[in-house]
Chains A and B, each alone.
Chain A
């Protein structure tokens, strides 16, 4: 059954390939938790600990056991969704992360959609009209976009739109305090508010979201536009496009049915790298805009040396990234026209 459908087999193979990566990620985050400065037992026992209570903590945490056994315990805890206790909030890290994850996802996904919506048409236009102002604009945006530190762009946008023009709300979180939080359904304020039919709140949430999402989009736009332009150029100069043009197909058909569909493949592949940048930049943007996501949670935890929270965050981000890469690769097999043709 599996062998008969190449698409299914490619999908299965890709999922199997993700397993060693996940194992590697877990091993590295285990090493990071055990590489804490000094003795973790001394740290977790607290400031007022004496030799006795440190020893108790060591036994309680299982730090007296051999490394391999500690690793097995760590994996066992992970499988039960236990990432340890956060010292600053007093709750379990997994609970904290789950509560704050929707805010981060809403920000990152909005930014990515925004970036794709601008970058792909820009890249296509630049490739079809080389040497015109669109092409030059594309080049400037691409070079400036990768050079702009996200935290700096964010601050500039706050200065211009909040202080000078006064059209943006104050950069403090997801929703101004005059609005009530929408009922929790998905955790995405835009979707939740829309579900309630509360358009006043929806507008408030959208206003808060637009600047941070714009900042992140400016940063992620550059690699997508660059790749779209390059892929479109190489697709347009290939033989099958010449043949299609010679056969008298309309410009539109050649551009979208033949060139764009093939150019899409390398673009989807770069999305993996773009996600890596976006998830990292997300931390900085959340700090600038006081956005209550998992990035600012990790930054707050770093300041008070709450290591369990930081390491939980790193692991959660890595697993999220592995999952996103998996989705991208599955999308790739879904849109790859060659796989489609060979299965017919």
Chain B
């Protein structure tokens, strides 16, 4: 008994050491974790802490360049750009997290079923995924939002659908190679049902590569959602959202009022950058061989 717990302890220690080693070897990952914490902080507490109401207009104070009072300047109706950029974090992150969570769940279930039972289920799923991937993904998202209706929920569904194939394929591959592994057969012989073996014994093995995929995907989901609202889908004008703020600011860039578009665009870029760095860092921790 003590032997087992000792082994357990040394194993977690080994993991811990490995993570520390990777973080030390690649300080960029550490920075990414810090930026991630900052993003979460502004998503949770941002609306409480910003100096101005993000929707309050003030016509006498319109189009002011960045100053001490308005760090990112004011827009064409006198709203504070800094407040709007920070407040928008919550909406942008919620859209992408909801979309990625949805595609994670649906992709996992489809991938598990196809990978474990195989046969015609597998063939149908693969054909279906091939068909989704046959569309340029952003264009498919446009078509889905246009067909389902122009709302934020439909932006989430569309982003989830175009991300889903990546998860389903990953889970399918991970489940398929372990379907007949010794531990899976042992669990089956011990009297566990198929669903139980699949959910508790096989699927957890797919989680580490899935986490990497989630992190890389979050950045892409934010880009997609912001792109859709940039072309006028989903979020409607007075709401603070990075994509739509860049779209509104674009009208003023040719007359030199750069702060309207640049700051929300910069924040969007930082968010995507953070998730991409985080994904690369997580991959180094999970699978050092895939490092490029």
Contacts and interface: CB of A to CB of B under 8 A. Distances in A.
Contact of B292 (A20, A37, A144, A230): A230
A67 interface: no
Residue with the highest number of chain A CB atoms closer than 10 Å, among B131, B149, B231, B247: B231
Interface string A155-173: 1101100110000001100
A158 B231 contact: no
Residue with the highest number of chain A CB atoms closer than 10 Å, among B130, B146, B233, B273: B146
B119 interface: no
Nearest to B258: A159
Contact of A314 (B135, B149, B246, B265): B135
Given A24-B131, A148-B269, A310 B138 contact: no
A36 B142 contact: no
Interface residues of B, number: 50
Interface in B232-267: 232-233, 243, 246-247, 249-250, 253-256, 258, 261-262, 265-266
Contacts of A193: none
Interface in A113-169: 143-144, 146-152, 155-156, 158-159, 162-163
Contact of B219 (A147, A230, A310): A147
A155 B276 CA distance: 22
Contact of B139 (A21, A229, A283): A283
A322 B144 contact: no
B137 interface: yes
Contacts of B231: 283-284, 287, 299, 302
Given A21-B130, A28-B131, A149-B268, A280 B139 contact: yes
Given A147-B272, A156-B265, A283-B138, A288 B146 contact: no
Contact of A229 (B140, B144, B247, B292): B292
B135 A159 contact: no
A158 to B, nearest CB: 6
Contacts, number: 159
Given A28-B131, A146-B276, A229-B292, A311 B139 contact: no
B131 A25 contact: yes
Residue with the highest number of chain B CB atoms closer than 10 Å, among A25, A159, A313, A325: A159
Interface of A: 20-21, 24-25, 27-29, 32-33, 35-37, 143-144, 146-152, 155-156, 158-159, 162-163, 170-171, 226, 229-230, 233, 275-277, 279-281, 283-284, 287-288, 298-299, 302-303, 307, 310-311, 313-314, 317-318, 321-322, 325
Interface of B: 127-128, 130-140, 142-144, 146-149, 219, 223, 226-227, 230-233, 243, 246-247, 249-250, 253-256, 258, 261-262, 265-266, 268-269, 272-273, 276-277, 280, 292
Given A230-B292, A280-B227, A311-B143, 16 more contacts: A32-B147, A35-B148, A151-B243, A152-B261, A152-B269, A155-B246, A163-B255, A163-B256, A163-B258, A171-B254, A279-B136, A283-B142, A284-B231, A287-B231, A313-B143, A317-B135
